Structure 1
C-alpha cells in the first residue's frame, strides 16, 4: 500500500519518539479500524528511524500465533543480528528462555529480555514495534508489561498499534497500555478516514492511473475512506471491465449506481473468482490459520477434497496472491521462510473468509482439523499440543472427556512458560466439563496456579478458594492453598490469608512450608505470640526437599525479623542459602528473600552482601526470581546507605514493576522509603501524594509507613497530627521492629503533655534486646540529643558508620557538633553529607552551627545535591517564572527542541505532568526550612 495521506501523523510519531535518547522511554499507540493504515504508518516510521541509525525489534501481533507462547517474540529475537559477541550471547539466552519449558521460565524470560533490550539500547536508540498489539499472545504482553517498566530510563521507543474495536477484549494489552501511561510517556494517535483526494493517491498504482473525481468519490464512499478496502474495490472494478483509461486518468465506464461492491464483497471477490476448489481450500486455510507444504494432507482432510485437487488449488491461491509465504522481515507477514509456511496475504482476508463460514460449519471444520492431529498424538508422533488444543476448544461438545484431557494437558505444558495461556485453556476445559464434572477440582487448582504465576492474584485467589472447597486433603490441596495464600497476601487481605491457612492446617498433616507461611501471616496480623509458637513448629518440622527448606527458612527469617530477633534472621538467611545446595535458582530465591528482609530491618552490611551475590548470579545467567524483592532491596540499601539520588531514580521503575505484579505489600514499603526521603529534601508537594496512601495492613510495614508519615506531617506544619499517629501506632504495636523509630520520632517532636524523660526510658528499655545497628543508632542519637550526652552521640556515630547508615551517621554528627564544640570535623562531614543527599534544611542547620563555631563552611556543590542537574534546574526555574519554551530557548541559547527534551526529563524526575505542577513543586522546595 503506498504511503499517502498520513504525513501529519508520521510527523506526530517522529516528534514523539526522537527525544528518546535523552528523555527515556516513550510509547506511541496508533489506533484505528482494520485497513485504515496503522501498519503502513508504523512501517514508514520504522524506516525513517532505521535510516537515522536506530535499532529495530519488530514483534507483530498475529491472531494465527496467539496460542503459541512467545512465538512471535522468539522469532523476532532470533532474527536479530547484533553487532557484537556480547549482545549476540544475550540474544541466544533470550531465545532459549522464550522457548524453554521449566516452571521458572516467565521470570527468566523477563530477565533475559530486559538485559537484551538494555544492551541493544545502550549502543544507540532502540524502537520496539508491535503492530496489532492485542493479537500478541497474553504471555508476551505480560512480559512486555514487566520488562518495559524496568527500562523506563532507557533510550527506548515503543510503537504500538491496535484496532479501535476488538472482537474479543485483550485485558493483557489494556494492562500494558495502562502501565505505559503510568510509568512512561504514552502518546495516543487515532487514525481517521482519508479524504477522496488521498484515496485517489492510494489507489493509483492498483489502477495504473489516477482516478477521476467521480471514481475517487465512489471509491471513497464505498470504502468509507478506508485505504485497504479502497484498493480492493479498485482491483475488483479493474478486473470486471467497468473502468476506462483516458490519458493518465481512469474513469467509470458505467453509471455509479450500477456498482454493487461494498467492503466485504471486495475482499471475498479475491477468492470467489478462483473456483470452488480454491474456495474450499481457502476456507480450510482460514481455519488452520497457517500451513506448511508438509501439511497439505491435513488441508485436504479439512477441505474434504482429494490431495491432488488441494495441491492444485493451493498453488492457484499462491499465484493469485491470496496465500503468501514469508517475504523475510515484512512486518505484516511474520512467517519463517525455512519452514515454507503459508497464510493469507492480509489478516482482513482471513477474517472475512472465517466469518463467512458460519458458526456451525466452523465447528465442523475445526473438528476435521482436530481429529487427525489427535490421532497422530495417540500414535506418539510429534504434534503441536497448543495447536491441537485450539481446534479442540473450537469444536468440542460439552462433557467431551477427551477434549477436556487435551486442554488440561496443553495447560500443564504451558504452565511454566506461558501461564496466561494455561489459565485460558483451563477456563475452556471447565466450561466443557461443567462445575460438577469429575476433574473440576484439578482444573480449578491448575488455573489458580497459572493465574498466580501470571500476576493476577485476585482471580487466582477466587479460583483457588473454589478449588479448595472441592479438593481432598493431600499435596495438591496444599499446593493450591499456598498459591491462594500468596495471592491474598499480595492483595493485602491478611485476614483472609489466615482464614485459608487455618483451614489447611486443621486438615491432614500440613507441610513445613505451610506452617511457616501461617506463622508469618499471624505476625503480620499482630498475633505475635501465636506467630512465635507456630514458627517453632515450622522450624522443627521435617522438610520434604531443599526447595521447601529454602521456603521455610525464608519465611522464618521474616518472622524473626518482625519479632526483633535479628541474629536469628541472619542465621536463617544463611541456612536458606546453604539449603539451596548447587541449585542457582534456589540460591537466588534464598538470597532475594533474605536480602529484602534484612534490608528492611536495617541490616545493611549483611543485606548488601546478599544483594551482590544475587546480582552476580543473575548476571551469570541464573533465572531472575523475585525481581520485586531484589529491586526493593536495592532502593532500601541506597536510601540507608546515603545514595538518595540513585534511590529516587529507581523508585519510579521499581514502583511500576511492583504495580504490574500487584505486590501491594512491597509497594507499601517502597512508598514509606520514598516519603521519608522526599520529606527530608523538602519536596513536600511530591511527598503529599505519598502521604495520602492507605496505611499497609501488614503490621511491621504499617509501622515503617506511619513513621515516615509522621515525619511528613511534622514538616508540613502539623506536629500535633504527627504525634497523634505515632502514639496510636505505638499503643497498637509498639513492640514491632520499628517501635524504636516510632518512639524516637515522638520524642523529637516533644509533644505537649508527654513525659519526655519517661519516653526516653521506654526507648532504652525497648532497645535492650535489639541487635539491629539501625535501632541502636537511633536510640543512642535520641538519648544523646535529649540528655546532651556527647558520649551517647559518639556511640551513635560509631554504630551508624559500622552499620552503613549514612544519613543516621550525619544526623548524629550534627547533634554531636551542636553539643560538643570540639567536634567541628564531625559537623563538617554532616554538612557535606546533607548537601549530597539534598537534605538542605539539615545542611543549613549544620552551616549555621559551623558559623557559630567560627569554622569555615564548605562550599555547597550543586551538581549532585538533588535530582536535577544544573542545566535542568536552570530550565525549571525559568518555567517557575512563567516563561514559555521559546523564551527559555532564547534566554539560554538552546533550541526549542532542547528545552522540550529538558522538560521531559524534569517532569519524569520530579513526577509532575504539567508546568503548573512543576512551579508548585519548586515553590514548595523554596519554602522548606
Structure 2
C-alpha cells in the first residue's frame, strides 16, 4: 500500500510539473532531419519543409524546439486563424511590414521576396507558417510565388498544417515535390509518454494506447484526470473527452471574472490588448482575472493576451451561448475604430437574418470591388448572403461572390460555391456563373452549353464575353469574332476581337482595333499580333511592358510572359527566352490559369530542345501533353504535338504531328507561323521519305504563307522545298528554293531559322561537291548558331565543315558561356541595374542574383560591373 501511495504521489508531482512547464519529449529523428536541412540552407541551398499531423500531435512544439536549439536565426513567423481566413494578407502581414492590401498575390509575393532578401543580410532566415490550412488564400499564393523563386538563398520555410492536401493547389504542389522534406508526425511512443508524464511503463503504455499518443490529448487528460486515476492500473481510464469539453471544463473551474475575460478574448482574437478585452468582458481588474484564467497567456507588450493553442480559443468560442456571444460581439463592435472590423463583429452578433447588416456588407463588398479587391469583396458578399432574409437577393449575392472570385483568378475557391449555385432555381445569371466555373475548370462543353443558355436567357454582355474567349481558345475564329461583337465592345473584348481576327489571318484588321504605341492599353494583344506578323521588335516592346506590369486581369501577366518567351526565341535571345518561359510556367501555375499551362510548357520546350537539353525539354513536353489532354481543345493539342516533335527524331515528329494533318482549315492552328506545326511536319516527312505527303503539306503551307505574306513561314517553307526537291533529284529547283528562303530570312530577322537554312543549303551544296560555296553557308550557319548555344545543330554544322575541309574557328569567350538565368542577370546588371532592381525585374531574391552574378564574373574572367557592361557592348 505504501508503494502504491508513493507511486501516486510521484505521478502527481510529475503531472503538476507538466502543467506548469510544457515539456517536450521525443521527435529525435525529426529534429535531426530538420538540422540536416538547416545545414544545407546555411550553404546556400534553400529548402521547404512540411510538418503534418493531426491537431495536438505536436507540430508547433516540434518547430519551437527546433528553433530553440538553433539560436541566431532570423525567424519570420506567422499563424493562420480560422476566423481570419478571409482577411486578405492577414498571414503575409505577420511575415513582413508595410504590406499593400491592394496588391495582387503575385506582386505581394515579389514584395515578400524582396523582404526576405533584406533580412538575409543578418544570416539564415527561417519562415514559419503555423496552421497554414487556416491562412488566407492571397497570403499563401504570395508565399508560394516567393518560395519558388529562391535559388541560392539561406532560407528555410517551414509550413505547418494537418495535411498538405488541405492547402491551395500551388502550395500543395510545392510541398508535394520530391525536393520538399515532409515530416508526418505520429503519436508519441510509450517511452515518450513515460518521459512526459513520469508514469510507470504499464501506465504510460496504457495512456499512449488510449490517446493514440497524441500529446494534446495526453496533456488534456493529465490536466483533467487525477494522478491516481492515471497511474492506477486497476481502474479503467475514462474515454478521451473532446478537446472542446476539456477546455470548457477548465474554463468553468475558474473565477467568474476569469471566465468572462477568456470568453471576451475568444471573441476579439489573439493579440488583443488586455484593456480592450477587459472592457468588452466588463471586468474591473483585468490583471487579477488574467492570473486566474488558466487558458490565457500574455502574448506581447501592453500587455496583450492570447491562447496557448488555437484549438483552445475555438473551444471557448463554441462554448459561449448564442445570447452572450451576440452581446460580446456587439460590445466589441462599439469599441472598434475600424469600420470594417466593427461591421464584422456586428455580423457575427446576428442570430438568423438581418437585412440592414447584410446591406452594409453588400456596400462594403462593392467598395472593395471598386478597388479591385475581388477576394475580400467575395467574402463580404458571402457573409451578407448568410444574413439576407430574401432568397432571391441571397442567391444574387452568392452569384456575385462567385464571379468576384473568378475575377480574382481564384478558380479553386470559386469552385467551392458550385454546389450552392447549382441548387439555385434556374436563371440566366445562374447559368452564366456555372458556365464561368465550368470554363475555369476546363469543362469546355459544359461551359458552352451553360453560357449559351445564359445568353439566350438575357445575360447578354457577360455571357457573350465568355463565349468569345471560349471560342478563341478553341481556335474558332469566326465564332469568337461574332461573340466579341455581340458583347458590347468592352476593352477586354476589343483585345479578344483583335486576336480572333488574327487567328483567321486578318492581322492588319486586328491591329486596327488596338491603340498605338503611345497608348499603354492593350499591349498584350498588340504584342501577340506583332509577333504573328514578324514585327519582333514591336512585339518585344509590347510584351515586355505587359509581362512586367503587376496590374490588370490575372491572366495578362502569365500570357504576356509566355508570348514574350516565344518572341525572344524567334529573335535569337534564347537565354531570356528560357528564363521567361520558365517564369511563364510558374506564373500560370501560381495564378491558377490552367488554360495557359500547355502554351507555357511548349514555349519552354523549344529553346531547351534546340540547345540539346533534352531532359528538361522532355519534361516540359510531357507536361504540355498532360495539360492539352485535360483541356481538350485544338490549339492546345497542336502546341503539345509541336512540343513532343521538338524532343524526338524525325520518325517521332511524324507520329506526333500526323494527327494535325486533316482536311479543312482550322483558325489559328493552321495559320502559317502561329503554332508552326506544318513547318516542322514537312521537314520530318522529307527526312522519313514520305515525299508525297510532304508535297501535299508543303503546298498548302506555301499557299497560306504567300497569301498572308508571313516571312518566317516563307523561310521555313523555302527550306522545306529545298529539302524536298533535293530528295527528288531536282538540284536546280532545290538551289532556287534555298536561295529564296534566304531572301525571306533577311526580312524575318530570325537567327535560328536563318541558320538552319544556311546549314541545309550548305549540306546540300557539299553533297553536290560545291565545297567552297558550301563552306560559306556552313560558316554563316555556325556564326549564328554558336551565340545561340544551339548545340545539336552546331555539332552537325561542324561535321559538315570538317567534311568540306574548312577550319572551324569559333570564339569561345563571351556571354554564350552563361546559363540562361546567369545571362538574364548579367544582361540587366550590364544595363546598369542594381542587384535589388535585377531581383525585382526577374522576380528573384537578391541572394540568388548575387549567386548568379558571382558565376558570371568567374566564367567571363572579369571582376567588375563595368567590365561586364563592356563585354556585353562588345
Determine if contact 1:366/1:391 at 8 Å carries over to the other structure: no
Give a deviation string over 1:738-766, Cα, whole Å, max 9, x none: 57833333332136372655654433321
Please give the alpha-carbon distance, in whole angstroms, between the structure 2 residues aligned to 1:818 and 1:655: 37
Residue equivalent to 2:4: none
Please give the alpha-carbon distance, in whole angstroms, between the structure 1 residues aligned to 2:759 and 2:794: 9
Please give the alpha-carbon distance, in whole angstroms, between the structure 2 residues aligned to 1:41 and 1:373: 35
Please give the alpha-carbon distance, in whole angstroms, between the structure 1 residues aligned to 2:745 and 2:329: 68
Residue equivalent to 2:415: 459
Please give the alpha-carbon distance, in whole angstroms, between the structure 2 residues aligned to 1:509 and 1:255: 72
Q: Mark the runs of 5 or more structure 2 residues left unpaired by the alignment.
A: 1-21, 726-732, 766-771, 822-850, 852-874
Determine if contact 2:598/2:623 at 8 Å carries over to the other structure: no
* Structure 2 counterparts to residues 757-776 of structure 1, below 5 A: 759-776=697-714
2:274 matches 1:342:
no
Please give the alpha-carbon distance, in whole angstroms, between the structure 1 residues aligned to 2:639 and 2:232: 80
Residue equivalent to 2:16: none
Residue equivalent to 2:355: 401
Give the superposition deviation at 1:232: 6.4
The change in CA–CA distance for 1:753 and 1:665 in structure 2 (over 3 A counts) is same
* Structure 2 counterparts to residues 685-724 of structure 1, below 5 A: 686=619, 689-690=622-623, 692-693=625-626, 694=628, 697-712=632-647, 714-715=649-650, 717-718=651-652, 721-722=655-656, 724=658
Give the superposition deviation at 1:133: 1.3
Please give the alpha-carbon distance, in whole angstroms, between the structure 1 residues aligned to 2:597 and 2:636: 10
Residue equivalent to 2:755: 810
Please give the alpha-carbon distance, in whole angstroms, between the structure 2 residues aligned to 1:120 and 1:343: 27
Residue equivalent to 2:825: none
2:138 matches 1:139:
yes
Residue equivalent to 2:316: 353
2:289 matches 1:316:
yes
Give a deviation string over 1:685-736, Cα, whole Å, max 9, x none: 6477347433555544544433444455654x34653463242276655753
Determine if contact 2:140/2:171 at 8 Å carries over to the other structure: no
Residue equivalent to 1:113: 112
Residue equivalent to 2:298: 325
Residue equivalent to 1:286: 266
Q: Structure 1 stretch 779-788 or stretch 426-435: which is displaced more?
A: 426-435
Please give the alpha-carbon distance, in whole angstroms, between the structure 2 residues aligned to 1:634 and 1:662: 19
The change in CA–CA distance for 1:232 and 1:703 in structure 2 (over 3 A counts) is closer
Match of 1:10 among 25, 28, 31: 31
Give the superposition deviation at 1:510: 5.3
Please give the alpha-carbon distance, in whole angstroms, between the structure 2 residues aligned to 1:232 and 1:61: 23
Please give the alpha-carbon distance, in whole angstroms, between the structure 2 residues aligned to 1:278 and 1:156: 42
Q: Mark the runs of 5 or more structure 1 residues left unpaired by the alignment.
A: 79-91, 165-169, 204-209, 244-250, 301-306, 328-336, 581-586, 870-904, 906-929
Give the superposition deviation at 1:129: 0.8
Determine if contact 1:229/1:266 at 8 Å carries over to the other structure: no
Give a deviation string over 1:17-69, Cα, whole Å, max 9, x none: 54347786532111234443322221233455663xx5432122234533432
Determine if contact 2:599/2:624 at 8 Å carries over to the other structure: no
Determine if contact 1:641/1:805 at 8 Å carries over to the other structure: yes
Please give the alpha-carbon distance, in whole angstroms, between the structure 1 residues aligned to 2:641 and 2:147: 32
2:169 matches 1:175:
yes
Please give the alpha-carbon distance, in whole angstroms, between the structure 2 residues aligned to 1:122 and 1:596: 41
Determine if contact 1:444/1:466 at 8 Å carries over to the other structure: no
* Structure 2 counterparts to residues 269-308 of structure 1, below 5 A: 270-290=250-270, 291-293=272-274, 295-296=276-277, 299-300=280-281, 307=282
Residue equivalent to 1:60: 79
The change in CA–CA distance for 1:131 and 1:855 in structure 2 (over 3 A counts) is same
Please give the alpha-carbon distance, in whole angstroms, between the structure 2 residues aligned to 1:261 and 1:461: 38
* Structure 2 counterparts to residues 116-515 of structure 1, below 5 A: 116-117=115-116, 120=119, 125-151=124-150, 156-163=155-162, 173-181=167-175, 185-195=179-189, 197-199=191-193, 202=196, 225-227=213-215, 270-290=250-270, 291-293=272-274, 295-296=276-277, 299-300=280-281, 307=282, 310-312=283-285, 315-318=288-291, 322-327=295-300, 337=301, 340-355=303-318, 357=319, 362-372=321-331, 376=334, 382-383=337-338, 385-386=340-341, 388-389=343-344, 392=347, 396-397=351-352, 399-402=353-356, 404-405=358-359, 407-409=361-363, 411-412=365-366, 419-420=374-375, 422-423=377-378, 426-427=381-382, 429-430=384-385, 433=388, 436-456=391-411, 459=415, 462=418, 488-499=438-449, 502=452
Give the superposition deviation at 1:795: 5.8
Give a deviation string over 1:263-304, Cα, whole Å, max 9, x none: 76875565444323423442343344344345457633xxxx
Q: Tell me the TM-score normalised to structure 2 length.
A: 0.74
Aligned residues: 774
The change in CA–CA distance for 1:719 and 1:507 in structure 2 (over 3 A counts) is closer
Please give the alpha-carbon distance, in whole angstroms, between the structure 2 residues aligned to 1:275 and 1:284: 14
2:661 matches 1:727:
yes
The change in CA–CA distance for 1:572 and 1:127 in structure 2 (over 3 A counts) is farther
Q: Tell me the TM-score normalised to structure 1 length.
A: 0.70
Determine if contact 2:432/2:450 at 8 Å carries over to the other structure: no
Please give the alpha-carbon distance, in whole angstroms, between the structure 1 residues aligned to 2:113 and 2:743: 40
* Structure 2 counterparts to residues 37-56 of structure 1, below 5 A: 37-47=58-68, 51=72, 55-56=74-75
Give the superposition deviation at 1:420: 5.0
**SS in structure 1 of the partner of residue 708 of structure 2:** coil
2:2 matches 1:29:
no
**SS in structure 2 of the partner of residue 109 of structure 1:** helix
Determine if contact 2:49/2:158 at 8 Å carries over to the other structure: yes
